[in-house]
Amino acid sequence: MRLATVGTSVITHHFLDALKHEPYFELAYVYSRSEEKGLDFAKQYEVPVISDWNTLLSQMDVDVLYVASPNDVHFSQCLDALKAHKHVICEKPFVSNLTEFNELMRVSNETKHFCFDAMTLMHLPNLKVIKEHLHEIEPIKLMNSSMVQYSSRYDLLAQGTIPNIFDLNHSGGALMDLGVYPMGLCIALFGKPESLHYECNKYVNGIDLSGVLTLKYPDKVCVCVIGKDSRGMNFSYISGERGAIVIPEQPSRLVSVQLITPKETRELGVEQAQNAMVEEIKAFAQIIKNNDWLTYQSHVKNTEILMSCLDQARKQANIVFKADQLV
């Protein structure tokens, strides 16, 4: 499968590094609206640059697009790609809202082309490990998951410049950028919550900088702490009556998993690729290769729940994107 990248940020370099581990995909082109940026990026991979969007879509030798552009254009670019009969791998956050998600899934089913949400943690081997050992600490009462990373762009914001990641017009904010990881982990383990509540700190333009999201289930409560304006520890802690499962690092990678009971503490985690994107790329390759719509739909369901929860949380906090006003 020949693949083209859309976007020239650091995350695209990470993706292409991971792509080396999956021979099913071959990099064919780099797309960038700026030909100069595209040329600088593409020369590292010895592939041609395309700077016109319609030209990229018309390339018959491109089967898959990897979309790593600003959040607010994910929807339009993914939609265009599906209509051009390309498979799509789209960086998180997948789209701006549930309405956009539903339209992409409609067109995905209509065109019989896959549109993947590139949420790395959903494909990590240690997620399966956690699920397999939950029974050892049940009944589970609490989960606390923290993703707090001081943004390199926060200083610009403090100086009066609004980067995309802190712009309502670009579907930014802490919830969309970081919250998807702890929330996604809760959803992957326990499914859709019966209710949720989001309290956040906002900038003057209305964007959320940090906050606490509470997911309520019939028999447990999950708390997600997120922040782009502060520094802190990243960890996840699943607490049950008979013990706890601890992830001592950020929930986006699941590098280590520990079981703690009154009798023992032991490491459960298995070895994973250093680049967390390797596992998702391999998973997407298998789905495309086998035309596996059943597995695809299970991933779609998780993304649907996540997008629904993001919409609810933003509504509670009165965070309104430009994209919300277009639907």
Strands 26-31 and 49-50: parallel
Measured CA to CA, the distance from residue 64 to residue 62 in angstroms comes to: 6
2-114+279-306 CATH: 3.40.50.720
- pLDDT attached to residue 327: 59
Domain-by-domain residue ranges, the chain? 2-114+279-306, 130-272
Three-state secondary structure call for residue 229:
coil
Contact 207/319 with Cβ under 8 angstroms?
yes
pTM of the model: 0.96
- pLDDT attached to residue 35: 87
- pLDDT attached to residue 39: 92
85-95 exposure pattern, b = at least 16 Cβ within 10 A, e = fewer: ebbbbbbbbbb
Strands 235-240 and 220-227: unpaired
Residue with tokens 């992830």: 247
Which pLDDT tens digit goes with each residue over 128-151? Answer: 999 999 999 999 999 999 999 999
Averages of pLDDT over runs of 10 residues in the chain (327 residues) are 96 97 97 91 94 97 97 98 98 97 98 97 97 98 97 92 96 98 98 98 97 98 98 95 96 96 96 96 98 97 98 98 88
Residues facing 67 on adjacent strands: 6, 90
Class of domain 130-272: alpha beta
Residue with tokens 């919409």: 311
Which pLDDT tens digit goes with each residue over 81-124? Answer: 999 999 999 999 999 999 999 999 999 999 999 999 999 999 99
